[in-house]
Amino acid sequence: MIIGLGNPGAAYRNSRHNLGFKTVDLLCTQLGLHLSDQHFQTLSTSTHYHNKKILLACPQTLMNRSGIAVKYLVEYYRPDIRDVMVIHDDIDLDVGRIKIACGGGAGGHHGIESVAYHLGTNEFSRTKIGIGRPRYNEAIEDFVLKPFYDDQQKTIKEGLHIAVKSIESFVLYGVETAMNTFNSLTTGKKEVGR
């Protein structure tokens, strides 16, 4: 089960907070799929990938209520919790950096807090995509809802392609292999002064 977090609506489409949606959309494009099913407050689709059935989903609740939709999906499809991959932005990683994890804290990410709360566990898998920190003293709440700076666009595009490859590795080989393969990769350059 591959779940991208974000906020629905055109106003948020290119925001830093919507990298989960963007990753699922990119994976769908590569597989020739569309998120056409509208159940459980999500847009979703399912397919077979190398003989494994996968569900791709983007909750249509607001980010901070993502756990409601994820709980519906998990209760209906009953996957092993470690086979649930949640994709989200991460302010503590450099722009475009990918980190795979299983379990652990939410790091202040309200979407992840909601998922952990509604599932009653934090033992699901995660693909974290770095967005870096504000350069110009923007409030975090505003920063995550804005697009990337112009000079970061190429880096984040590369990062999304790496995120898709990490999801493919997760589906085929499991979370540990995905962690070992992708957590050591770097994309782009570090922010000056970070």
- Residue 39 annotated in active site: no
Q: Tokens 């995660």 appear where?
A: 126
What's the rounded Cα separation, in Å, for the pair 127 and 75? Answer: 22
Which residues have a Cβ under 8 Å from the Cβ of 62 and sit 6 or more positions away? 7, 8
* DSSP state letters, 37-98: EEETTEEEEEEEETTEEEEEEEE-S-GGGHHHHHHHHHHHH---GGG-EEEEEETTS-TT-E
Query: Is 28 in contact with 45 (CB distance < 8 Å)?
Result: yes
What's the rounded Cα separation, in Å, for the pair 107 and 88? Answer: 12
Residues for the chain: how many in total? 194
Which member of 17, 88, 110, 118 is catalytic? Answer: 17
What's the rounded Cα separation, in Å, for the pair 120 and 88? Answer: 19
Instruction: Look up residue 190 and give its two tokens.
Output: 């570090």
Which residues have a Cβ under 8 Å from the Cβ of 43 and sit 6 or more positions away? 35, 36, 37, 57, 58, 60
Annotated catalytic residues are 17
